[in-house]
Amino acid sequence: MKYATINPVNNQIVKEFETEGFPDLEVSMNAYHQWRKLTASERGEQLKKVADLLENGKRRYAELITLEMGKPISEAEYEINKVLSGFEYYIRQAPVFLKDEMVKTNASKSYIRFEPLGIIFSIMPWNFPFWQVFRFAIPTLMAGNVSILKHSPNVPQCAKAIGDLFVEAGLPEGVFKNYFITNEDAGKLIADLRISGISFTGSDATGSILAAQAGKHIKKCVMELGGNDAFIVLEDANLDFAISGAIKSRSINSGQSCNAAKRFIVVESIAEAFTQKLIAAVGKLNPGDPFDPTTHVGPLARKDLAERVNKQVAESIEGGAVAHYGRSANTGTGNYVTPVVLTGVKPGVRAFEEEIFGPVWSVIRVKDTDEAIATANNSVYGLGASIWTADKVNAERFVSELETGNVFINDIVKSDARIPFGGIKRSGFGRELSEHGLMEFVNIKTVYIN
């Protein structure tokens, strides 16, 4: 396994890193024994130092994201700001969440304590290389755990920068450690008795393997996997508003987001008007150099990812879909995929059945709201769905019918530190963010005194 920065604009190797040996778990265990003794407020004071360093180097870290995986620079800066909002939220709220909870029983005193588990092993993806790491790490560390990170091999400089932040902030060695390790050593880590939990964000195929390994060794795990989110447009929707959401949700990160809208399910009576507006809007998107502030869509993160998306589009066309292409990036060396609207998409077409990780808008026509809900649920995934309508009260009636972990009405599906994020079905299990995410890696201990 090679850890390497390969510029997605031209596929040139920028920097390579050698894999390291098996992590020194005694360093992490020693850090855990120190870290868990601090109060949540004291841990927050330590993590505030990390946040301050991140804020001071915001532009530099954003440029690392753009260099390694091609995210447009404005979105990379937004990602760093989002991480900072996560620090602010948990530093303030974790001490409240972790307070002992008194419970009235037949005992003279009974209560619930929330205690850390130990070393939590995280395996994180490339598409949000800072946010995905920190949205797991901040609440996990605030709860008193320590963490080991295995980041995606194509964002090693981001991984190293994250690890270095904890060193520069002066936190005890081992509270948070990044390692460039092999998949074989990752499997050995999961099996090691000193590892207390696993958090993974990535594909459902890899998640299935890791969840099986975690289950074999009776390890708590959180799996945040893929999605094929439905974007449901009802006949009373404000079409211009819905189109704005459709562009934002699907083009963010050049279409490489698990919670992006991917299937645009539109009621027949307004389908033609919506489709024409969508094709026009996609045609205005500007693909190009991700460091250019006028670029809307950058290259995909790796060559194989771009090849896969192009193959999925081609096979969808063979299956009956019609392609309406936007502007091309006019480059033969980078991992660019031309933005495209696919119409005529139906169950059985590859664009309907699979998650497409790129700038592809798949439009599906349905006769009414009932068919829209049924079509949205016709998926092995269940991460999120959005409903676009003028009647918000009526839309809430359908919330319970959608088989997803997130439902957004008149807004795109997104993560927010204040609310839980996660899915069902092949989109995974467990939750990140909010109080619920913090509680994934704590020992909820009952204390009963008679």
Using alpha carbons, list the distances in angstroms from residue 385 to 67, 266, 372: 31, 13, 11
Residue 55, Cβ density class (10 Å: 0-12 exposed, 13-18 middle, ≥19 buried): middle
The amino acid occupying position 373 is: I
Residue 304, Cβ density class (10 Å: 0-12 exposed, 13-18 middle, ≥19 buried): exposed
Output DSSP code: residue 121. Answer: E
Angle between helices 239-251 and 268-283 (to 10 degrees): 50
The number of C-alpha atoms within 13 Å of 360 and in the hemisphere containing its C-beta is 33
Backbone angles phi, psi at 163, to 5 degrees: -60, -40
Output DSSP code: residue 104. Answer: -
The catalytic position among 258, 354, 355, 440 is 258
The catalytic position among 68, 77, 224, 355 is 224
Output DSSP code: residue 380. Answer: S
CB 404 within 8 A of CB 382: yes
Q: For residue 371, indicate whether it is catalytic.
A: no
DSSP assignment string, 300-369 = -SSHHHHHHHHHHHHHHHHTT-EEEE------SSS-----EEEES--TTSHHHHS---SSEEEEEEESSH
Q: For residue 224, indicate whether it is catalytic.
A: yes
- Rounded to 10 degrees, what is the CA torsion of 401, 404, 407, 412? -140
**CA gap 249, 257 in Å, rounded:** 9
Q: Which residue has the tokens 């799996």?
A: 223
Using alpha carbons, list the distances in angstroms from residue 399 to 43, 166, 232, 309, 403: 38, 41, 12, 31, 9
- Tokens in use for 250? 């699907």
- Name the β-bridge partners of 121: 148, 198
Q: Give the catalytic positions in this structure.
A: 224, 258
